[in-house]
Amino acid sequence: MTARKDLSERALGVLLLTPAALLLAAIVVYPVATLLWTSLTGVDNANPGAGEKFVGFDNYLRAFDDDRFWHSLWQTVVYVAVTVPAALLVGLGLALLANRPFRMKWPVRLGLLLPWALPLVFAGLIFRWFFEYQTGVVNDLLATVGIAPQNWLSDPTLATVAICTAIVWKASSFMALMLLAGLQTIPRSLYEAAEVDGATAWQQFVEITLPMLRPAIFVALIFRTITAIQTFDIPYAMTGGGPGDSTETLAMYIHKTTLDFLDFGYGSALAALMFLLSMAATSGYLRYTRRSAGREER
Amino acid sequence: MNLNRRAVVWLSAVIVAVNGFFPAVWMLLTSFKTETELIRSPITYLPIAPTLANYVTAFTAQPILRFMANSVIVAGLSTLLCIVIGALAAYALTRLRMPHRNLVMSLLLAVAMFPLISLMVPLFKLMRELGLLNTYFALIMPYAVLSLPVCTLVMAAFFQDIPPDLEAAAMVDGCSRVGALFRVVMPLAAPGVFTAAILAFVNAWDEFLLALTMMNRVSMRTLSVGITLYQGEFAFPWPLISAALVVAIVPICILIAVFQERVVGGLTAGGVKG
C-alpha cells in the first residue's frame, strides 16, 4: 500500500515537473545546443552563397585576434569590478538607513522599490540626460561648487564613470532590499547585550551586523555579478557604446554581431564565451562561500 | 538626545526616499516644460510655464498606447504561463515525497539562470527560422523562463507553510491530488502566488534586450523599446521623452505602490532563500 502510494506520488511529481522541463528544454536547452553548434560554423567569404559550413574553432580563434572583442571584454570587466563593490556599499548604506523604526513606512519602501521597478533603459535615458553637457543637472550642480562643466558622454573615461553611476543607482536599491531583509533577521537582543558590554556603534556593526549579514551579502553579490556581466541596457541607452566603441560591453558587441552584421557563427562563439565567463564567476563565488562556510563550522 | 535620535531617523528616511524618487520627480517636472525652457542657462528646476503639450505629442508622435497594449499582452500572458508551470513544479518539489528533489530544484534553477544575452543569439535564430519574429509568442515563452526560478522559489516558500492535513482532508473527501492543489493549496497560498505574479509581470514589463531583438516592427514594440523611438538620431527632445516615460511608468508605479509589502516580501524570499 505504502509502496504503491510512493510510486504514484513519484509519478505525479514527474508529471507536475514535466511542463517546466519542456519549457526549459525548448527555450534553453535546445537553443543552447544549437548555439554551440552554430559557433563552429561560418560563412565562407570566398563563396558566401554556399551558406554556413563547419569551420571548427575558427570563430573562437578569430575572437582571440579581435581587438574589439578584447576591448568590450575589458569594458565589461571594468563595469563588474566597479559596480559590484560600489552597489554593495551604497546598497548596504541604504539598507542601514532604511532599517530604522519609521512611523511612516511607505516613502522608504517605495524609495527602494522604485529604482528596482524602473526598466534599465529608462534609468539609462534619465541618467544620459543628467550627464548632458548643456541641459544636464550634473554640470549644473558642478557649476555651483565652481567646477567647470564636463563633456561627460563624449569622453571614454568620463562616459564610463557616468554609466557606472547609473548602474550603481539602479542596482543598489535591489541590493538594499535584500540586505534589509537580512538585517531584520538579526535578533535585537544581540545589540542589547553588546550595549550592556559597552560596545560602540562601530564595534556592533563590525562584530554583529557584518558577520550576521554575510549570507545575504553573498547572495546579493552573486546576483549583482551575474547581472553586471550581462550589462547591456544602460550603456545602450546612455552612449550606444560610444564615443567610438569605447563604452561597448561584450553583450552589446554580441548583439551587434548577431543582429546588425547577421554573423551568427561569430556571435554564437562570443555568446558561448560570455556563458563561460558567467559560469566562472558564479562557481568562483560558490566555492568561496562553501569554503568560508566550512571554516566557520570548524 | 531623544530629539536628536528622531532627527537621525527622519534624515535617514529622507535620504532613502530622495535617492529613490529624484529621477522620477525630475522626469515629471521636465514633462511640463517647453523645449525652449529646457535649453535655458542656467537650467530651471521647476517649470516656468507648465504645459501639457508634451503629453499630447507623446500620444501622437508614436503609438504609445499600442506599445502599452503589447507590453500588457506579453507581460500578462508570460506571467500566467510562468505561474501555472511554476506552481506545478513548486508543488511537486515541496509537497510530494520525491527522490533527489534538491538536485532537481538546483538543476531547474541552474538551467533557468542561463545568461539571457547568450540565449538571445540562438533564440533569435530559432524564431527567425520558425517565422515567429514579431509575434507575441517570441517574447512570451522566454519571459516565462526568465521568471520561472524566482516564481518557483517564492511559491515553494509559501506552499511549504500550508499544513499537509488540509490537503489530506480534501483528498479523503474525494478530491484528487491535482484537484487539491488547485482547490486547497493554491487558494491558501494565494498571497505567495500573487507575489510571484507581480515579480514575473515587472520582470517582463522591464525586459529590453529580447524585446529589442525579437520585435523589429514598430507596431509590435513593447513599451521599454518603444520609449527609445522618441529620440532622433542626434536630437533628444527631453520634455517629450519625459512625458512618454511618465506615461510608461505610471502603470508599474501604481502596481508596486499598491502591493509594496508583497513585492518586498517576494523579492527577499526569492533572494535570501535562493
CB B225 to CB A121 under 8 A?
yes
pTM, rounded to two decimals: 0.87
C-alpha span between A205 and A248 (Å, rounded): 39
Q: What percent of chain B has pLDDT over 70?
A: 95
As a whole number, mean pLDDT of residues A210-232 equals 86
As a whole number, mean pLDDT of residues A33-42 equals 87
pLDDT score, position B272: 44
Whether the pLDDT of residue B273 is over 50: the answer is: no
> Which of B4, B19, B241 to mutate to probe the A interface, most A CBs <10 Å?
B19
C-alpha span between A116 and A175 (Å, rounded): 9
Q: What is the DSSP letter of B174?
A: T
Cis previous bond, B42, omega within 30:
yes
For residue A262, being part of any structural domain is answered with yes
As a whole number, mean pLDDT of residues B153-181 equals 81
Query: The domain that contains A100 carries what CATH number?
Result: 1.10.3720.10
Is the Cβ–Cβ distance between A34 and B125 less than 8 Å? yes
Q: Which residue is closest to A184 within chain B, CA to CA?
A: B268
Radius of gyration of chain A (CA): 24
Least trusted range by pLDDT, from A158-162, A238-242, A290-294, B104-108:
A290-294
pLDDT score, position A293: 55
C-alpha span between A162 and A164 (Å, rounded): 5
C-alpha span between B21 and A114 (Å, rounded): 7
> Which residue from A236, A205, A18 is spatially nearest to A119, judged by alpha carbons?
A236
Q: Which residues on chain A are in Cβ contact (under 8 Å) with B88?
A: 16-17, 19-20
Q: Which structural domain, as residue segments, surrounds residue A280?
A: 68-297
For residue A15, being part of any structural domain is answered with no
Least trusted range by pLDDT, from A289-293, B37-41, B85-89:
A289-293
Whether the pLDDT of residue B63 is over 70: the answer is: yes
Residue owning grid cell 505567495: B192
Whether the pLDDT of residue A168 is over 90: the answer is: yes
Q: How confident is the model at residue B135 (pLDDT cuts 50, 70, 90)?
A: very high
pLDDT score, position A1: 41
CB A114 to CB B227 under 8 A?
no
ipTM confidence:
0.85
Q: Write the pLDDT tens digit of every residue in A279-298.
A: 888 787 777 666 665 554 44
Whether the pLDDT of residue A48 is over 70: the answer is: no
If contacts are CB pairs under 8 Å, which of residues 18-77 in chain A contact chain B? 19-21, 23-24, 26-32, 34-35, 38
Q: How confident is the model at residue B150 (pLDDT cuts 50, 70, 90)?
A: confident
The total number of structural domains in chain A stands at 1
C-alpha span between B185 and A28 (Å, rounded): 30
Q: How confident is the model at residue A59 (pLDDT cuts 50, 70, 90)?
A: confident
Domain B54-273 grouped into CATH 3.40.50.300? no
For residue A247, being part of any structural domain is answered with yes
At B191 the three-state DSSP class reads helix
| Set of cell numbers at residue B68 | 502599452
For residue A92, being part of any structural domain is answered with yes
CB B13 to CB A108 under 8 A?
yes
For residue A52, being part of any structural domain is answered with no
For residue A13, being part of any structural domain is answered with no
DSSP letters along chain A, please? -HHHHHHHHHHHHHHHHHHHHHHHIIIIIHHHHHHHHHTTEEE-TT-GGG-EEE-TTHHHHHHHT-HHHHHHHHHHHHHHHHHHHHHHHHHHHHHHHHSS--SS-HHHHHHHHHHHHS-HHHHHHHHHHHT-TTT-HHHHHHHHTTPPP--GGGSHHHHHHHHHHHHHHHHHHHHHHHHHHHHTTS-HHHHHHHHHTT--HHHHIIIIIHHHHHHHHHHHHHHHHHHHHT--HHHHHHTTT-STTTT--HHHHHHIIIIIS--HHHHHHHHHHHHHHHHHHHHHHHHHHHHHHHHHH-
pLDDT score, position B230: 84
Q: Write the pLDDT tens digit of every residue in A8-30.
A: 778 888 888 889 889 988 888 89
CB B115 to CB A274 under 8 A?
yes
Q: Return mean pLDDT, chain A.
A: 85
Q: Write the pLDDT tens digit of every residue in B195-228.
A: 889 889 988 998 999 999 999 888 899 998 988 8
CB B209 to CB A251 under 8 A?
yes
B91 exposed, middle or buried (CB, 10 Å; 0-12, 13-18, 19+)?
A: buried
If contacts are CB pairs under 8 Å, which of residues 81-100 in chain A contact chain B? 94, 97-98, 100
For residue A290, being part of any structural domain is answered with yes
Q: How close A30 gets to chain B, by Cα (Å)?
A: 9
Neighbours of A93 (CB within 10 A): 17
Q: Return mean pLDDT, chain B.
A: 84
Residue B194 corresponds to which amino acid?
Answer: F
Locate the domains of chain B by residue range.
Answer: 54-273
